[in-house]
Amino acid sequence: MQLADIAIAAQEEMVVSHEGIATVKAIDMNQGIVKLAHGPIASLKWPAMTMDFRIEDRALMQGIKVDDAVTFVFIQSNGDYVITHIKSGK
């Protein structure tokens, strides 16, 4: 394997996280999905929108309810956007 190949492989394995602020619109614990109305996500150049996110660990949602204001961190994994951290600002 050449040095360039190693560098490309390392970049492909890097996981980039993104942060946002949102309001919880719906929670589906059976599917492990939360619908958030989030503000702009600068790191992805996304405008504000409402969308579904997968939940990495359902325990993250403990104490979080619909209409809560939250801050959250997510990654892209296998074509899904997956929340790795979420905190209610209540």
Please report whether residue 63 resides in a domain.
Answer: yes
Please report whether residue 5 resides in a domain.
Answer: no
Please report whether residue 6 resides in a domain.
Answer: no
How many domains does one find in the chain?
1
User: How confident is the prediction for the chain on average, in pLDDT?
Assistant: 89
Q: What residue numbers bound the domain in which 45 lies?
A: 16-88
Please report whether residue 10 resides in a domain.
Answer: no
Question: Is 86 in contact with 21 (CB distance < 8 Å)?
Answer: no
Compute the average pLDDT of residues 30-48.
Answer: 97
CATH number (domain holding residue 30):
2.40.50.320
Q: Which residue has the higher pLDDT, 62 or 11?
A: 62
Compute the average pLDDT of residues 20-42.
Answer: 97
